[in-house]
Structure 1
Amino acid sequence: MDTEFVYSNGQEKGPTSLLLGPKVLATNFYQLSPAEDLTLATYLVRPVPLFDESSLLKDSTFTNEKYGSVRRVYVVCDKDNVLKEEQLQRWLIKNNPPDDVEFIHDADHMVMFSKPRELCSCLLMISRKYH
């Protein structure tokens, strides 16, 4: 679409970040959000840094005593075109099972704009249940 890769260290070293264009934002991130939120996002968009996940995996140690002691709830947004439910969201849940899974129907990737009341209700319910 209209995403641009940024090569801060030169083209030969690969991209260091990407810049999401207005078509990508409208189609994948804000497709169910109010138009004014999409408009604001197009003005405020900044390059998103890319990283090498191999260094993240190598340097990270997760233990049951620390990471495992935090209660986790995954909130599925069923109309998320970035983290598609049937692909990535289900994989994340399967490979790192949370304590609970909640659903917000007809929510895009930017759930705080597309379904703000539903998100607030969901977060309140989670806080009451796990606090």
Structure 2
Amino acid sequence: MMQEINNFQEVENFNCSRLNESLTVPVQYDIGSNDVVTSHTPPSVRDQAVPGFIHFRPYDPKGVPNALCPGVRSDSCRPSSICVGGINTNPGNSRTCGDFAGWDGLDTDRPTAEEPAGFAKSLNDVASSLLLFTRKRVS
């Protein structure tokens, strides 16, 4: 069995997405862009966060939902790093609670005021408020 495990190759494009159990809606920016959203995404989940969406009820692999991911669609194994309104199920962080449960990342992550690091958002993002605005599109 160990020989088989040693022979295992990384699965190309693997992600923990459970998109069929949630809702994603594309967004149109009045201010900002996909590049701005990506720059605020923690580096360790950046390749699993597709900008340009609002993602409602993203699930982690344990089946724990978050309320929403603002600005991104999460294919992440740790959606709590980029989503709000859930709990962080990662045992590597003892500082998490509240609506921004996973934004602090791991105890070993060292974000700055402006730059995210590891699984953590920037310190300014962690201390922020989240406002979502919608408007009815006029045809």
- State TM-score, norm by structure 2: 0.24
Structure with the larger RCO, 1 or 2 (CA within 8 Å, 6+ apart): 1
Larger radius of gyration: 1
TM-score, structure 1 normalization: 0.25
